[in-house]
Amino acid sequence: MDQKLILVVCGAGINTSTMAGEFISEEISKRKLKNVKVKTVLVNDLPRYKGQKDMAIVYMTKVDTDMGVPSFQGMNFLIGTRETKLELFDKILESLGVEQQG
Amino acid sequence: MGEIYSTIVAGVDWFVALGPSVMIAIVLTVLGTAFGAGFSKSLRGGIITGVGLAGLFLVVDLIVEALLPAINAMAENFNLQLRLVDVGWADAGIAWGWPGVAGVMLGIIAVNIIMVLLKLTKTLWTDVWSYWHGQVCGAFVWVVTGSVTLGIIAAIIYLVIGSLFSDITAKRYQEYNDMPGIGVPCGPTVLASVFAIPVSAALNKIPGINKLNASPESIKERFGVFGEVSVMGAIIGLLIGLLAGYGIAGALVLSMQVAAIMLILPRMVSIIAEGLIPITMKVAEFVRERFKDRELHVGVDCAVLLGHSSVMASALILFPLSILLAAALPGNGMLPIASLALIPFLAGAVVPFTRGNVIHTVIIVLLLLIPYLYAATNMSPVHTETYAQLGMFTEEIEGGARFASWDMGGDPISWIINQIFRLFS
């Protein structure tokens, strides 16, 4: 099984990315997606992940670097209703080619 | 009546005497469960926030133990007035540890919902973490008036001002950062933005200055590793050690201590914030469901504004300049070190209004820091007394340590509110 990574990028690492990361990791464990991992990083650390495959990026702040992987504006994880949060999460999984049962 | 009142007072005193870490763990467990986040999640959150506070105070111990004597020695050598200890975001410990904390949380949620229903604001105050600025404003008022109720009212006023300012600034944040639907009601952020609007317009009219700009990329490249917080802290510590006459060995030790302070303090703050997530999620979902059909700005943390490369570039230039400003400003008593962590947030608030112009952003933030420094110096007695009332750092205070910070000790809105509430004491 390929390991997939969801990278949540934020400006300060204090609050926003943790909120989004928490929602994503909860959903991952709820759906028992064993090969999907979520990680929160700071904008400044983003270049380290350049070139990595099987990765999707969730931006919690505006970022100028093009990472060449599927990217999503993650603000809905903070301000959305439960419905829109799940919708965004499904889109991210789809871009990673993660298959879900049921 | 008198008996009931004295029982309540005794109860509150007992509660406060437990210290901020214990108190916030209990408050968050109860509130989180009441908001429907579930007992175990709320308990975990409460304990994590308590741990964050405990960690925060360890860092302050290090600041007082290591940095304070060095700054005093340096100040003596160069005849400077900088005698106050900059505790930076340790004030989050006041915020989540004063007796009005639960009252403010419930109060601002209620007041905000009423204001939204009456169409007085378009901002939903959903970012529970950022209540902390209001909490500290309230705690300072509590200390000068002796009334928890007045403190809670002051805190809510501070937070309401945040939502009104957010109404003014939200559109530009959304457009400049590609984030439809958000608002940032966080006090220091919106104040910096509201300040930036006229000043930026003025800068654009001054011939010569209006054309100035710098490329954020080249600034970041030039600073390189020296732009990293830890490296910068080490350099600042080394310089202070040398200026304090510590000799090479002593300066090297101080250098690592200051690096530790600057790197660890924000990490502790992030632990505090993590514990608040269960409540924040519930509050955000609760108000969101109720106002589904209206076009509103959902309040998020100011960190969302930090992504632009001109933010970090401006901050890098501002770090040394703001230290020099503090040293040069007559009557200022605080040398910013731990408080430097606020600078990226101020730059992040200004950049949308200068459209990423680094030089203009630097000028605006420097101007804004002048009232911050004076307010921090002026508030220092109240600030120190607040820690004393919460039973924190009592030995250090007895030993003569006097505290200050930008966020929230120097917050200009909090300072004005405090002056007004003093009239009631």
Counting residues of chain B whose pLDDT is more than 90, the rounded percentage is 58
Q: Considering chain B, what is the average pLDDT of its residues?
A: 91
Q: Over 70: is that where the pLDDT of B237 sits? A: yes
Placement of tokens 């467990």 in the chain = B29
Q: Does B309 touch chain A (CB under 8 A)?
A: yes
Least confident of B50-59, B80-89, B218-227: B218-227
Cβ B181–A75 below 8 Å, yes or no? yes
Cβ B312–A16 below 8 Å, yes or no? no
CB-CB neighbors (< 8 A) of A59 in chain B: 307
Which of A11, A22, A75 lies closest to B305 in CB terms? A11
pLDDT at site B141: 98
Taking Cα atoms as reference points, which of B170, B148, B126 lies closest to residue B11? Answer: B148
pTM as predicted: 0.88
Cβ B309–A64 below 8 Å, yes or no? yes
Q: Over 90: is that where the pLDDT of B306 sits? A: no
pLDDT at site B277: 85
pLDDT at site B266: 83
Measured CA to CA in angstroms, residue B15 lies from A33, B93, B387 at distances of 44, 15, 15
Q: Does B38 touch chain A (CB under 8 A)?
A: no
Q: Which of B306, B310, B316 to mutate to test the interface with A (most CBs of A within 10 A)?
A: B306
* Residue B16 pLDDT grade (very low, low, confident, very high; cuts 50, 70, 90): confident
pLDDT at site B123: 94
Specify whether the CB–CB gap between B303 and A14 falls below 8 A: yes
Cβ A15–B288 below 8 Å, yes or no? no
Placement of tokens 């570039």 in the chain = B313
Q: Over 90: is that where the pLDDT of B409 sits? A: yes
Cβ A15–B266 below 8 Å, yes or no? no
Q: Which two tokens stand for residue B260?
A: 């530790």
Phi and psi angles of residue B185, each rounded to the nearest 5 degrees, phi first: -85, 5
Q: Chain A residues with CB-CB distance to B under 8 A? A: 9-19, 22-23, 43-44, 59-64, 73, 75, 78-82
User: What part of B 126-155 touches A (C-beta under 8 Å)?
Assistant: 126-127, 129
CB-CB neighbors (< 8 A) of A16 in chain B: 300-301, 303-304
Least confident of B155-164, B190-199, B228-237, B413-422: B228-237
Cβ B306–A43 below 8 Å, yes or no? yes
Query: From A46, which residue of chain B is nearest by alpha-carbon distance?
Result: B307
| Helix-then-strand count for chain A, H and E | 3, 4
pLDDT at site B243: 94
- Strand, coil or helix: A10: strand
Pairing relationship of beta strands B123-124 and B85-86 according to DSSP bridges: unpaired
Q: Which of A9, A10, A15 to mutate to test the interface with B (most CBs of B within 10 A)?
A: A15
Q: Over 90: is that where the pLDDT of B268 sits? A: no
pLDDT at site B191: 97
Cβ B270–A79 below 8 Å, yes or no? no
Which of B179, B266, B270 lies closest to A75 in CB terms? B179
Where is mean pLDDT largest: A26-35, B49-58, B113-122? Answer: B113-122
* ipTM (interface pTM): 0.73
Query: From A82, which residue of chain B is nearest by alpha-carbon distance?
Result: B285
Q: Over 90: is that where the pLDDT of B121 sits? A: yes
CB-CB neighbors (< 8 A) of B89 in chain A: none
Q: Over 70: is that where the pLDDT of B1 sits? A: no
Which of B129, B300, B305 lies closest to A79 in CB terms? B300
Specify whether the CB–CB gap between B357 and B197 falls below 8 A: no
Q: Over 60: is that where the pLDDT of B39 sits? A: yes
Kindly report each contact of residues A93-102 with a partner whose C-beta sits within 8 Å and lies 24 or more positions away, as own/partner.
A93/A33, A93/A36, A95/A56, A95/A70, A96/A4, A96/A6, A96/A36, A96/A54, A96/A55, A96/A56, A96/A70, A97/A4, A98/A4, A98/A33, A98/A35, A98/A36, A100/A31, A100/A33
Residue B111: CB atoms within 10 A of its CB come to 18
Q: Does B307 touch chain A (CB under 8 A)?
A: yes
Cβ A18–B298 below 8 Å, yes or no? no
pLDDT at site A101: 60
Cβ A14–B304 below 8 Å, yes or no? no
CB-CB neighbors (< 8 A) of B298 in chain A: 78-79
pLDDT < 70 regions, chain A: 1, 13-15, 101-102
Q: Over 90: is that where the pLDDT of B251 sits? A: yes
